[in-house]
A and B are shown apart, each in its own frame.
Chain A
């Protein structure tokens, strides 16, 4: 990788909620877009925000769920957010496509969920729970459910689905049947980061189970590598600063990027571990890295720290996110319209309709015909007796047991009030009902 890499942008993520203060320490979910120059972040209150280009200007934002966003996946049609409690898919422009709320059958609310990015039509969702399920991305429904003995924390799809368990091993699953092909015991305690690409899985982890207090601070001083072609584990790459985050370079198939929690970044060739290329991210004292992500183009790296800042690294001249970028869809500039004044004479036709071909929204269904002119509702005696008259009108407590704004047939009420009529013969009644029916038909026609 080139020597001119440096920090090109820095962004303080917006606070998680309207009234919330940023809670440092919780890593936000971040992802680079695969087809547009966008950066996606998800926070602990279920909000997803996107930022445009290397300037990181705010583009869209939406709410994907009520829990913490665990992972963001980019799809051709939109962005999929995995949340504690739900899976949400939205257009990049913001409007939702579908939303799956976990009921009991799918997932417990507390589960940390992860996902295998199929990129195509299906995604596999699993977590720290006994069930995995498959979602059809087009339809937005759960199509398959499977029991699992292992609880998963990370998942990545390459030629297989590589899933890191809570016990420090990595399960290699068949990407069609989701059956376990092999288990690789990478660490004795926990895998904290994993990436898989082409023929390799690389992991960072912790082995010492007893050092509970140091767990998150003391990752192992090497990166484990697994060769998927030959199904054997390779010699670990030494990383003295303690490997906390690791990513494979998307375009250099044997190169990986490793970072420590203190911000030391190293670019390593898996085939030739002695070539070193070290950078140091500028972190405020007492801040740690919480995430690292590499762009699909390989030309940008994102580092998130515990103070809620994201640092964008890359070569200033060539930085871009997506391999092949489509333009981002912005709002069209608003055309100027003539200023109208609110006078009685201003016709509502002053501004013309745009060109159109489909049925207008204002089209009123033809079967909806209403009778008008029914007498107004009577205020009943009990209410009238309690009326309190004030300057602006009169008010009383609601006494009658009807819904607010309930429609009542005032015509019928009128009729029954004058119903002391002479009894009718059967023949008369029959004639009357026939008349009624014909009258009804006339109205509905």
Chain B
């Protein structure tokens, strides 16, 4: 029975992070690329929300030196963890056209996501 308990615990340990990561991805997914934002100055290059777009690319659109997609689960999970916790670590974000280069901390990205999420919940946005 003790052994069974241990097995249960290790199983739980394996799956305990799933919900957290799923919720995080859901949040990012609902915020990013909403067509309502088309032409909204808040999401233009001149506003802070632009950081979220650049972070999405940083997270999912990695490429190697030849421009081939790199799919690295470790990268995605470690970045998600850092943004979840709001780490002070800084990363370099580059826009698709190479014209924007930002050095931002995970904590700043987290703040932008939170602000965008709060706005999404406002009744005026729901209609």
Residues of A within 8 A of B (CB): 17-18, 47, 58-65, 86, 88, 93-96, 99, 101, 329-332, 334-335, 337-342, 346-356, 358, 360-365, 368, 404
Residue of A nearest to B97 (CB): A18
- Cβ–Cβ < 8 Å partners of B121 in chain A: 365, 368
Q: Are B85 and A354 touching (Cβ within 8 A)?
A: yes
Q: Are A351 and B84 touching (Cβ within 8 A)?
A: no
Q: Are B48 and A95 touching (Cβ within 8 A)?
A: yes
Q: Which of B21, B77, B78, B104 contacts A95 (CB 8 A)?
A: B104
Residue of B nearest to A86 (CB): B46
Q: Which of B47, B73, B103, B108 contacts A342 (CB 8 A)?
A: B73
Q: Are B17 and A356 touching (Cβ within 8 A)?
A: no
Q: Are A353 and B81 touching (Cβ within 8 A)?
A: yes
* Majority secondary structure, B binding face: helix
Query: How many A-B residue pairs lie within 8 Å, measured between CB atoms?
Result: 140
- Cβ–Cβ < 8 Å partners of A358 in chain B: 85-86
How many angstroms between the C-alpha atoms of A96 and B85 in the bound complex? Answer: 23
Chain B min CB distance to A331 (Å): 4
Q: Are A355 and B85 touching (Cβ within 8 A)?
A: yes
Residue of A nearest to B15 (CB): A347
How many angstroms between the C-alpha atoms of A362 and B101 in the bound complex? Answer: 27
- Cβ–Cβ < 8 Å partners of A331 in chain B: 90-92, 103
With contact pairs A61-B101, A93-B103 given, residues A340 and B74 touching in the complex (Cβ less than 8 Å): yes
Instruction: Across the A-B interface, give the 8 residue pairs with the lowest CB-CB distance, nearest first.
Output: A94-B102, A356-B85, A347-B14, A349-B17, A362-B24, A93-B103, A331-B92, A18-B97
- Cβ–Cβ < 8 Å partners of B67 in chain A: none
Q: Are B24 and A361 touching (Cβ within 8 A)?
A: yes
- Cβ–Cβ < 8 Å partners of B17 in chain A: 347-349
- Cβ–Cβ < 8 Å partners of A88 in chain B: 46
Q: Are A332 and B91 touching (Cβ within 8 A)?
A: yes
Bits for B103-117, please: 1 = Cβ < 8 Å to A, else 0: 110001010011000
Chain A min CB distance to B45 (Å): 4
How many angstroms between the C-alpha atoms of A329 and B121 in the bound complex? Answer: 34
Q: Are A361 and B114 touching (Cβ within 8 A)?
A: yes
> Does chain A have a CB within 8 A of B5?
no
Q: Are B46 and A96 touching (Cβ within 8 A)?
A: yes
Q: Are A61 and B100 touching (Cβ within 8 A)?
A: yes
Q: Are B46 and A99 touching (Cβ within 8 A)?
A: yes
> Does chain A have a CB within 8 A of B13?
yes
- Cβ–Cβ < 8 Å partners of A368 in chain B: 121
Q: Are B45 and A337 touching (Cβ within 8 A)?
A: no
Q: Are A58 and B90 touching (Cβ within 8 A)?
A: no
> Does chain A have a CB within 8 A of B4?
no
Chain A min CB distance to B8 (Å): 15
Q: Which of A47, A60, A353 contacts B84 (CB 8 A)?
A: A353
> Does chain A have a CB within 8 A of B99?
yes
> Does chain A have a CB within 8 A of B87?
yes
> Does chain A have a CB within 8 A of B53?
no
How many angstroms between the C-alpha atoms of A346 and B71 in the bound complex? Answer: 15
Residue of B nearest to A334 (CB): B91
Q: Are A362 and B102 touching (Cβ within 8 A)?
A: no
How many angstroms between the C-alpha atoms of A136 and B16 in the bound complex? Answer: 48
Chain A min CB distance to B55 (Å): 11
Interface residues of B in 3-29 (CB under 8 A from A): 13-18, 20-21, 23-24, 27
12 A-B pairs in the complex with CB atoms less than 8 angstroms apart:
A61-B101, A95-B108, A99-B46, A101-B41, A340-B74, A347-B13, A348-B17, A349-B17, A353-B85, A361-B27, A361-B86, A365-B121
Chain B min CB distance to A414 (Å): 24
Chain B min CB distance to A372 (Å): 14
Q: Which of A86, A95, A363 contacts B51 (CB 8 A)?
A: A95
Residue of B nearest to A331 (CB): B92
- Cβ–Cβ < 8 Å partners of B90 in chain A: 93, 329-332
Q: Which of A94, A346, A354 contacts B100 (CB 8 A)?
A: A94
> Does chain A have a CB within 8 A of B56?
no
- Cβ–Cβ < 8 Å partners of B110 in chain A: 361
Chain A min CB distance to B51 (Å): 6
How many angstroms between the C-alpha atoms of A347 and B10 in the bound complex? Answer: 11
How many angstroms between the C-alpha atoms of A355 and B89 in the bound complex? Answer: 12
- Cβ–Cβ < 8 Å partners of A93 in chain B: 90, 102-104
How many angstroms between the C-alpha atoms of A424 and B92 in the bound complex? Answer: 67
How many angstroms between the C-alpha atoms of A351 and B92 in the bound complex? Answer: 22
Residue of B nearest to A364 (CB): B23
Q: Are B101 and A58 touching (Cβ within 8 A)?
A: yes
With contact pairs A94-B104, A348-B17, A361-B84 given, residues A63 and B24 touching in the complex (Cβ less than 8 Å): no
Q: Which of A58, A62, A340, A362 contacts B20 (CB 8 A)?
A: A362
Bits for B22-48, please: 1 = Cβ < 8 Å to A, else 0: 011001000000010000010001111
Residue of B nearest to A65 (CB): B46
Q: Are B89 and A332 touching (Cβ within 8 A)?
A: yes
- Cβ–Cβ < 8 Å partners of A352 in chain B: 81
- Cβ–Cβ < 8 Å partners of A355 in chain B: 85
Q: Which of A99, A329, A335, A339 contacts B47 (CB 8 A)?
A: A99
Q: Are A96 and B74 touching (Cβ within 8 A)?
A: no
Chain A min CB distance to B110 (Å): 5
Q: Which of B72, B87, B102, B103 contacts A354 (CB 8 A)?
A: B87
